[in-house]
């Protein structure tokens, strides 16, 4: 879903950034998530229960990223483009959005380093 390129990463806590860095250490997987998103299945972010746990652990930061990238109506934006019919589905799509944004940022940084 997230196809935005942005100059600065909007992750405000080291906990969220550290969790994503720890989970995503394979550049091939990062590239796949950046290009294809999470909906095809990304280990640790497949089931609503996994995404809900991640969301609950990093709720403020996940919401901040969604708010800053999607605006005041970030919940409406996520629900508009996804089949969200429960709180668990909303948490899943918010987490997927953040994961995809993180992977896209990593790829953007790699591409800028290679181009330099």
pLDDT in tens, 46-81: 999 999 999 999 999 999 899 988 999 999 999 988
pLDDT digits (tens, 9 = 90+) for 1-31: 444 444 444 555 678 888 999 999 999 999 9
pLDDT at 2: 42
pLDDT at 6 (0 to 100): 45
Residue 91 · residue 57 · CB < 8 Å: no
Token representation of residue 22: 């720890």
**Contact present, 10 and 64 (Cβ < 8 Å):** yes
Query: What's the gap between Cα 51 and its chain centre?
Result: 11
The angle subtended at Cα 24 by Cα 58 and Cα 60, nearest 5°, is 10
Query: What does pTM read for this prediction?
Result: 0.87
* Residue 5, pLDDT score: 41
């Amino acid at each position: 879903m997230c196809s935005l390129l942005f100059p600065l990463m909007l992750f405000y806590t080291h906990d969220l950034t550290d969790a994503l860095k720890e989970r995503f250490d394979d550049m091939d997987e990062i590239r796949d998530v950046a290009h294809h998103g999470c909906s095809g299945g990304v280990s640790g972010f497949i089931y609503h229960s996994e995404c809900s746990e991640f969301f609950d652990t990093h709720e403020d930061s996940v919401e901040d990223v969604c708010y800053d990238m999607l605006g005041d109506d970030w919940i409406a934006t996520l629900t508009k483009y996804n089949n969200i019919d429960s709180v668990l589905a909303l948490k899943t799509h918010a987490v997927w959005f953040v994961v995809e944004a993180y992977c896209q940022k990593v790829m953007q940084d790699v591409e800028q380093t290679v181009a330099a």
